[in-house]
């Protein structure tokens, strides 16, 4: 009996497995903090909400996880306009082994992006962590991906997909249905809604352009960082 039918079935099964792996993501869309991100559906998920902040933790165990944190900044912190990415590693300096940092750049409409990569010791295990910070208006979004250094490369594709998918859909008005309880009629939200309606007829909306620009920038930075991670070259990206 020929072995080819078996090979054919084996190839089909492998193709199905790969296809399932590629589609093993779901879109998480938050109507309060105006962002969306694709996340792996088969990772253990937990969520914490505290006032103007919420956190989603996705984990597979063994120090391999993705943490998505959204924060609404008010008052003086909002006026500063910059991303305090360094705060992510405050208090860890004695444990840090090396650090890579991208410069802060504007992407899309009034959206800032910053990426940090650093390695540290945790209980005798070398952990590599990549953090991306996005800021739009008074909203901050951070996505932190970490894994033991020796296993990090196995999850790079997952980490890249999650980070590259992150967008503020409110940046160009897609969040016009979001109501801010602290703002009355005629406030910034209402004015933004009116401006949104006037531009909705455009075939290629401003939102799509900005989302693409943001995604292209992030993907470019992630490719650069991935190469540095693989080559174990540590330097500041300017």
Asked if 115 and 160 count as a contact pair (C-beta separation under 8 A), the reply is: no
pLDDT of residue 207: 58
The pLDDT assigned to 229 comes to 64
Which pLDDT band holds residue 105 (cuts at 50, 70, 90)?
Answer: low
Based on the number of CB atoms within 10 Å of its own CB, is 142 exposed (0-12), middle (13-18) or buried (19 or more)?
buried
**Residue 151 pLDDT exceeds 60:** yes
- pLDDT-derived band at 56, boundaries 50, 70, 90: very high
Give the model's pLDDT for residue 218.
72
As a whole number, mean pLDDT of residues 32-37 equals: 91
pLDDT of residue 206 exceeding 70: no
pLDDT score for 89: 46
For domain 20-231, the CATH class is alpha beta
Of residues 70 and 188, the one with the higher pLDDT is 70
- 100 in Cβ contact with 236 (< 8 Å): yes
pLDDT at position 74, please?
A: 76
More confident residue, 227 or 52: 52
**Percentage of the chain lying above the pLDDT 70 cut:** 51
- pLDDT for position 144: 94
Identify the band that residue 210 occupies on the pLDDT scale cut at 50, 70 and 90: low
Size of the chain in residues: 238
Strands of 82-212, DSSP E? 96-101, 105-107, 111-122, 125-136, 139-148, 167-168
Residue 115 burial by Cβ neighbours in a 10 Å radius (0-12, 13-18, 19+): buried
- The Cα–Cα gap between 139 and 145 comes to 20
- Concatenate the DSSP letters of all residues of 21-61 into one string: HHT-EEEEEETTTTEEEEEETTSEEEEEEETTEEEEEEEEE
pLDDT, tens digit (0-9, with 9 covering 90-100), for 63-100: 999 999 999 887 654 444 444 444 444 444 455 566 67
pLDDT of residue 217: 66
Domain-wise residue ranges, the chain: 20-231
Tell me the average pLDDT of the chain: 70
Q: Which residues contact 155 (CB under 8 A, 6 or more apart)?
A: 64, 145, 147
Dist CA 117 CA 167 (whole Å): 20
Selection from 210, 31, 34, 30 nearest residue 138 by Cα = 34
How much is the pLDDT for 11? Answer: 36
Q: Is residue 172 predicted with pLDDT exceeding 90?
A: no
Tell me the C-alpha distance between 181 and 131, whole Å: 31
As a whole number of angstroms, the distance between CA 183 and CA 170 comes to 16
User: DSSP letter at 234?
Assistant: -
CA angle, 214 then 218 then 221, to 5° = 145
Question: Residue 168: phi, psi to the nearest 5?
Answer: -95, 105
């Amino acid at each position: 009996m020929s072995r080819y039918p078996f090979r054919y079935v084996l190839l089909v099964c492998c193709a199905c497995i790969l296809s399932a792996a590629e589609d093993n993501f779901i879109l998480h869309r938050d109507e309060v903090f105006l962002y969306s991100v694709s996340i792996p559906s088969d990772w253990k998920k937990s969520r914490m909400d505290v006032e103007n902040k919420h956190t989603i933790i996705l984990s597979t165990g063994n120090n391999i996880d993705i943490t998505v944190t959204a924060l609404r900044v008010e008052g003086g912190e909002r006026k500063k306009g910059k991303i305090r990415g360094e705060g992510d590693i405050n208090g860890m300096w004695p444990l840090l082994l090396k650090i890579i940092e991208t410069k802060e750049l504007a992407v899309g409409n009034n959206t800032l992006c910053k990426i940090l990569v650093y390695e540290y010791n945790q209980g005798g295990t070398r952990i590599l962590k990549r953090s991306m910070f996005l800021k739009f208006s008074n909203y901050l979004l951070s996505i932190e991906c970490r894994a033991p250094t020796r296993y990090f490369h196995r999850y790079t594709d997952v980490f890249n997909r999650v980070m590259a998918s992150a967008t503020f859909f409110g940046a160009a008005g897609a969040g016009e249905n979001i109501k801010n309880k602290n703002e009355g009629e005629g406030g910034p939200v209402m004015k933004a809604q009116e401006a949104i309606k006037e531009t909705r007829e455009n075939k290629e909306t401003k939102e799509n352009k900005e989302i693409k620009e943001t995604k292209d920038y992030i993907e470019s930075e992630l490719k650069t960082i991935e190469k540095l991670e693989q080559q174990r070259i540590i330097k500041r990206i300017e």
